[in-house]
């Protein structure tokens, strides 16, 4: 599961990772239900922030990312990015995450409307919660 890509999701309210090693200092939480489109429920059991490195020296910080070991993808919540002050713009081939009109991250469209952050999600740097 370590090769699970990071995908941008407009329907999620939180960032999600199914990979425990993404979190250097995982903070346990009271289990919180995450509802899927098919009605399935999976629990989130921890949270932290992670500094995702992708491409050549590019990085994006995902704050308050939920650890949900039964999730099948890393999900980047477009809504949560907006709450954190980022702007997300989609076109037919790319998804751009902007801060102060500067591109911080760019996802590529794969298949039908699935935008993935390029690179290997295993190349993550960890950040501790202060």
What distances in angstroms separate CA 111 from CA 77, 93, 119, one per listed residue? 19, 10, 17
**Residue from 66, 105, 107, 109 nearest 86 by CA:** 105
**Interacting residues of 127 by C-beta distance below 8 A, sequence separation 6+:** 24, 49, 50, 51, 61
Q: What share of the chain is helix, strand, coil (3-state, %, to 5)?
A: 5, 50, 40
Please give the structure tokens belonging to residue 15.
Answer: 């960032």
Query: Over the chain, what is the mean pLDDT?
Result: 84
Residue 35 lies in a domain: yes
Residue 103 lies in a domain: yes
> What is the pTM assigned to this prediction?
0.83
Residue 1 lies in a domain: no
Residue 16 lies in a domain: yes
Give the pLDDT of residue 110: 87
Give the pLDDT of residue 39: 84
Give the pLDDT mean for 69-84.
92
The CATH number covering residue 49 comes to: 2.40.70
For CA atoms 13, 69, 120, 111, the dihedral sign is negative
Give the pLDDT of residue 3: 65
Residue 108 lies in a domain: yes
pLDDT digits (tens, 9 = 90+) for 10-49: 988 999 999 988 887 899 999 999 988 788 899 999 999 8
Please give the structure tokens belonging to residue 123.
Answer: 């190349």
Provide the domain count of the chain: 1
Q: What percent of the chain has pLDDT above 90?
A: 45
Give the pLDDT of residue 68: 95
Give the pLDDT of residue 126: 41
Residue 28 lies in a domain: yes
Please give the structure tokens belonging to residue 114.
Answer: 């699935």
CB count in 10 Å sphere of residue 78: 19
What span, in angstroms and rounded, lies between the C-alpha atoms of 17 and 72?
9
pLDDT at 1 over 70: no
Residue 41 lies in a domain: yes
Domain limits for position 43: 6-126
Residue 55 lies in a domain: yes
Give the pLDDT of residue 54: 73
Give the pLDDT mean for 49-55.
78
């Amino acid at each position: 599961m370590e090769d699970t890509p990071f995908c941008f999701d407009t329907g999620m309210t939180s960032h999600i990772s199914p990979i425990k090693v993404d979190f250097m200092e995982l903070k346990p939480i009271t289990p919180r239900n995450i509802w899927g489109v098919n009605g399935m429920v999976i629990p989130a059991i921890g949270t932290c922030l992670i500094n995702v490195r992708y491409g050549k020296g590019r990085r994006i910080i995902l704050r308050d990312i939920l650890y949900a070991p039964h999730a099948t993808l890393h999900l980047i919540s477009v809504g949560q990015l907006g709450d954190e002050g980022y702007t997300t713009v989609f076109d037919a081939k790319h998804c751009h995450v902007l801060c102060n009109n500067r591109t911080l991250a760019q996802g590529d469209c794969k298949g039908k409307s699935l935008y993935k952050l390029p690179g290997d999600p295993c190349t993550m740097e960890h950040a501790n919660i202060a």
